Each structure stands twice: as C-alpha cells, then as structure tokens.
Structure 1
Amino acid sequence: MASDTALFLRQLIRNPKQVSAIAPSSPFLARAMARTLSPTDRVVEFGPGTGSLTRGILGRGIKPENLTGFELDPNFIGKLRTDFPGVTFHHAGADRAAEFVEPGVDAVISGLPLLSMPAPVVQAIVGAAFALLKPGGLYIQFTYGPKPPVPHSVMQSLGLTARKGPHVLFNLPPARVYHFSRA
C-alpha cells in the first residue's frame, strides 16, 4: 500500500491535471462505491489509478474476469496488471470503452476527475458508460464538490437522473458518491 501511495504521488507531480486528487481513494470510499454491486455483476472501471477502487470492487465478490478497467497512465497500468491478475486493463481512454467491452454490463464505476474536464469530454465519457450499461445499470461516480459531478447539460442530453449516494468522511478529501441512471 505504501508503494501505491508513492506511485500515486509521483504521477500527481508529473501530471496533476490527469491525476487531479491529493491522495488515493480510501478503502471507505472504495466500499461506498462498490456497495450496490452483486458478486455475479459485470463491471467496468474508469480510471483505476493505483487500484484503490479496484480493491473495493473485487472485495464485493466480483470475479476478476468480470472486471475491466480503462487507464491512461502507463505507470498505473503496469502496476494494475501486476497487482490484479485476471482483471483486464486497457491502456485507453474511458471514452473508447465500447471498442473493447460488450454491452450489457451491470455497473460502471468511475474515479475520473470529471469536474476538471470540459463538458464535451464528460459527455463522451459518460455516454460511453451508458453505451455499455444494460437497462437499469448504474454509472457510479464520486466527487469532492457539493453538487453532482456530471453537468446538468450533459445529464439532460443523455437523459440521466442523479441520486446521491453515501457521503464518505474518511477520505482525503471527503467525497460524495452519486448514482446515475437513465431517466
């Protein structure tokens, strides 16, 4: 875990806009993000970073072969592939997920810093998530801000609703989980 933090900090210094957090997600946030998952679910993860949320997803009983991650940072990809055998990780942007994953997944869990991205990029990422999700599937995203991390204009254009999930105080900084679904 200490090596995860060291790698995270190195990547934060090298590319602060891409990492866009001051610390890896806590186990408390990981559990809150994965709370609605069932062991038989197929799950896609956007921006697994050092694997904090990945651990929470697998901790819910998701089989490694039913989890696919998308990560842009090549240093994170190497560590993820070593630390989580059986999980498929693509060195590709989340907006390209439909190129790699068959539709019909139960949930997409995202650790991406949506608030630091322009609305068209957020639209492409969230649109890609909903292209993969089965009817009734959830897009689960956390934020450090006081409102949903997906802009209202994007939610409206994609026909989404947002529901507040847990507020996680034991995270640096504290975070709020949101569940997005088709209206």
Structure 2
Amino acid sequence: ELGAGTGAVTRRLVEAGCADSPHGLYSIEFDAVLAEVLRESFPSVKVVNGSAENLCAILGDDLPRLAAVISSLPLLSLPKPVVRKILDETESALPAGGVFVQFTYNLARSPSALGFRKMRHIGRSIVLLNVPPARVDVFEKL
C-alpha cells in the first residue's frame, strides 16, 4: 500500500486478510508521524516510513512475491518527475498480471493520463458516497 495516511484503506486490507497472506502487507508512508500511528494501529502490517519512489528497495526479498499495489497517493498533483519514478518503481515491482489500484479524488482526470508504460487500464469505479467522491482505477501489468 502506497500512501497509507491514517489507515482508512489499510483497515479494509487487514479486514480482507491481506496482512495474513504468506508475505504480509506492506504499507509505505512518507510522513513519520503517520507511519508511527499506523504501526500502533496495525501491528500485523509491515509499516515502512519511506517514499514510494524506493518501492523495490523497500520490498527487498519480498519483491518477487508482490501481487498488487494499492495507492492513495495524490499522483495527479505530485511533481511529474516524482510521479514518473513512482510509476517506474511500481511497474518494475509488479509481475505480469499484477494489479495496480489507484484511489483518486479528482473525478475529471484519469490516472491513465499519467503515462504508464507497462500497464493497461482494466476498470474504474466511482464511489459517490465517499466524501469527497472517489475514483478507483485498476490497471494490470502487461
């Protein structure tokens, strides 16, 4: 999980059993205070205070077993060089058929416009009951 923040998505992933999978659930959070809150709230999750720009290095030996990346990062508003690095790391980390899910709170702009090189868009949902409304886009690694 990239950009775990206060753990709203983390909680759902834990409830779905992701933390109990053989290699567990990693949550990468840039903010040190939020990372500590996540560690206290979700002891079964491997919380890393770091940048998604270093995803492959953070995962280390668990990298070959990665199945999906869930992102709540504000990719549509981050500087383009940072977004490029995060996308490159994500595409490198995922195996063929691996899934990248991006939560976005800008309904007008698609994350597809970010410039994926090795992913194809396979689905989208709009969650109007979320405040603010959320867009959930799903991509598959080619």
TM-score when normalising by structure 1: 0.69
**2:126 corresponding residue in structure 1:** 167
**1:122 corresponding residue in structure 2:** 83
Q: 1:56: how far off?
A: 1.1
Please give the alpha-carbon distance, in whole angstroms, between the structure 1 residues aligned to 2:29 and 2:19. Answer: 19
Q: 1:150: how far off?
A: 4.5
**1:148 corresponding residue in structure 2:** 110
Secondary structure in structure 2 of the residue aligned to 1:78: helix
Q: 1:67: how far off?
A: 0.2
Secondary structure in structure 2 of the residue aligned to 1:86: coil
Q: 1:73: how far off?
A: 0.6
Match of residue 134, structure 1, among 91, 95, 98: 95
Contact 1:166 1:176 in 2 (8 A): yes
Contact 1:163 1:180 in 2 (8 A): yes
Matched, 1:58 2:14: yes
Match of residue 108, structure 1, among 69, 72, 94: 69
Contact 1:164 1:176 in 2 (8 A): no
Contact 1:139 1:180 in 2 (8 A): yes
Secondary structure in structure 1 of the residue aligned to 2:18: coil
Q: 1:118: how far off?
A: 2.2
Secondary structure in structure 2 of the residue aligned to 1:100: helix
**1:24 corresponding residue in structure 2:** none
Q: Give the letter aligned to residue 51 of structure 1.
A: G
Q: 1:123: how far off?
A: 1.4
Q: Give the letter aligned to residue 14 of structure 2.
A: L
Secondary structure in structure 2 of the residue aligned to 1:129: helix
Secondary structure in structure 2 of the residue aligned to 1:120: helix
Secondary structure in structure 2 of the residue aligned to 1:135: coil
Please give the alpha-carbon distance, in whole angstroms, between the structure 2 residues aligned to 1:107 and 1:49. Answer: 18
Count of matched residue pairs: 136
Contact 2:13 2:19 in 1 (8 A): no
> Aligned residues: percent identity?
36
Q: 1:163: how far off?
A: 3.0
Q: Which has the higher helix share?
A: 1
* Aligned-pair Cα RMSD in Å: 1.6
Match of residue 99, structure 1, among 14, 36, 57: 57
> Structure 1: which 4+ aligned runs deviate by more than 4 Å?
none
Matched, 1:179 2:138: yes
Contact 2:91 2:118 in 1 (8 A): no
Q: 1:124: how far off?
A: 0.8
Secondary structure in structure 2 of the residue aligned to 1:99: helix
Q: Any stretches of 5+ residues in structure 1 without a counterpart? A: 1-44
List aligned pairs for 1:39-54, cutoff 5 A: 45-54=1-10
TM-score when normalising by structure 2: 0.87
Matched, 1:83 2:49: no
